[in-house]
Amino acid sequence: MASLNKHIKIHEQCKVSPSSSSTQLSLPLTFFDYIWLRFHPVERIFFYTLPSSHSHPTFFFENLVPKLKSSLSLTLQHFLPLAGNIVWPSDSPKPFLQFNPNDDGVSLLLAQCDDDDVSFDKILEHNSPQEASLSRSFVPHLESSDSFASIISIQITLFPKNGFSIGISTHHAVLDGKSSTMFIKAWSSICKSLEEETQSLNLEPLLEPFLERELIEDPNDFENSFINTWNRISSHFDKSSVKSIKIMSSMFQPIIKDAVRETFELTREDLEKINKRVFSKWNNIEDGAQEKEQEQPKKLSTFVLTCAYVSVCIAKAIQQSESDKKQKFSIGFPVDCRSRLVPPIPKNYCGNCVSNHIVDTEPYDFTKEDGVVIVAKKIYGKTQEMDKGFLDGIETMMYKYMAMIGEGVKGIGVAGSTRFGVYEIDFGFGRPAKVEITSIDRGLTIGLTESKDLKGGVEIGLVLEKHVMDLFQAIFREGLCFD
């Protein structure tokens, strides 16, 4: 068993292909895909507990892994493009998706964690910081070059006597969060049918992917705008070829040094407290950049409340940790456009259908006394704008973001969603004990997941420098100690 790093050893590395396909497939990229053409992979880990007997290496690798492998192969038959690659041949003006039945498949790494210093129970804990680098041992690398990029890679890691994890890396230029979650749910559904020996290999309608990309039209030629934008950005960062689909790793290096990873939770009661606090001052806060005063809604969404509260806590923690200078912040978030397109595209569309938007906050809003109220009001205002102008300005969004960073603004991003239902993903061995968005360590990003208890709360994943995390934890808890 070869060693991969100090925490795990490789049991096997293989390629899993669709169960039966002799059809070559090519699909174009849409302008939504081009938004994320050279963005970092989206990396997630699903942790599952197992009885001691089932997590013994012999039993696990001889009995459970074959079912995970065979169900993955059967699932890929429904999701053929994901078994292929993004390619950009020298004679092609644009990159595209391609699946070759005799050559392609998904990289699968089987590993085992035998490091006594790694506690599976501690990994599963909330409010328990751990080295940010640890999770990187349980997610696989995603291959990419100027002319070729894998779409998905998977790593299954056994923690003897405890459980296992499934780490998945996906190329954002092919899959948004909703699509990658649909794939994992489809895989788990088929695997569970094998585990229960029901042999039901058909997928429910919402898990059967809709792959027709021609439905997404591009009358404004956003596609070329995004290609040109990536070329200009890459010329500053990695000097790569003009025709390149290589993930820009130099721009998205994980935050590892002196950083810790931690999961927090806002319960439904916490969210109601924050909502009440925001509304108590809603009419006392001027909107500034807003052209007209917003009418107070009956209630703010979990998304608005969480993003406002957590981003302000992050900003204040960073501000306190660097008291010698006043910090500037902004926040941006992705918007699902499936239902907003005309005509709308199916909910089970498999690809990218998200655009990214920066909230119209002022750089110092986050660290003001009523920062939560100000930021919540402006995030709410941006979500209301999305109903009509969800594509307004997207062709210049990356330029705007880069300009803000150049001016010293710290951009806070958002990944995940409380609507994905990741804690429902059961491969036949029970629901996940924990789900983590590992790739939040590639920037200052808030990871969102629904609470494990499915009672209306939200889990928040963060990676921060340790001294900043200590301050964040104190500010986060103190801010919830009010009636």
Would you list the domain boundaries of the chain?
Answer: 2-237, 259-478
Residue 289's pLDDT is what? 46
Rounded mean pLDDT of 172-200? 90
- Active-site hit among 115, 238, 370, 426: 426
Q: SS3 for 331?
A: strand
Nearest to 33 by CA among 171, 221, 232, 178: 171
Sheet holding 42-49, edge to edge: 2-3, 8-16, 106-113, 152-159, 163-170, 42-49, 434-437
The beta-strand segments (E) located in 114-196 are 130-131, 148-150, 152-159, 163-170
Instruction: Provide the token pair at 268.
Output: 């439904």
Q: Confirm if 416 and 449 have CB atoms less than 8 A apart.
A: yes
Known catalytic membership, residue 172: yes
What's the rounded mean pLDDT across residues 95-99? 95
**Cβ(304)–Cβ(454) below 8 Å:** no
Write out the two tokens for 2: 């070869």
Q: Write out 351-415 in H/E/C secondary structure.
A: CCCEEEEECCCCCCHHHCCCHHHHHHHHHHHHHHHHHHHCCCCHHHHHHHHHHHHHCCEEEEEEE
Strands of 354-358's sheet in order across: 130-131, 259-266, 458-465, 445-450, 409-417, 328-336, 354-358
Residue tagged active-site, from 171, 172, 270, 365: 172
Query: Which run of H or of E encompasses 67?
Result: helix 65-78
Query: Which H or E element spans position 12?
Result: strand 8-16
- Reported confidence tier of residue 2, pLDDT bands at 50, 70, 90: low
* CATH tag, 2-237: 3.30.559.10
Looking at residue 238, its pLDDT comes to 66
Whole-model pTM? Answer: 0.95
What does the pLDDT read at residue 239? 63
Mean pLDDT of 376-404: 87
Which residue from 134, 138, 163, 164 is spatially nearest to 153, judged by alpha carbons? 138
Sheet hosting strand 96-99, strand order edge to edge: 25-28, 96-99, 85-87, 148-150
Average pLDDT, the chain: 91
Render pLDDT for 122-175 as a digit per residue (tens, 0 to 9).
Answer: 999 988 899 999 999 999 999 999 999 999 999 999 999 999 999 999 999 999
Pairing of strands 328-336, 445-450: unpaired
By the 8 A CB rule, do 17 and 105 touch? Answer: yes
Give CA–CA dist 252/230, Å, rounded: 14
Residue 166 pairs with which residues in a beta bridge?
46, 156
**Rounded to 5 degrees, what angle do the CA atoms 184, 190, 191 make?**
85
Q: What's residue 290's pLDDT?
A: 47
pLDDT at 287: 57
* Phi and psi, residue 285, nearest 5°: -105, 125
Spell out the CATH class of 259-478: alpha beta
Same fold, 2-237 and 259-478: yes
The Cα 171–Cα 37 span in angstroms is 8
pLDDT higher than 80, residue 323: no
CA-atom Rg of the chain in angstroms: 22
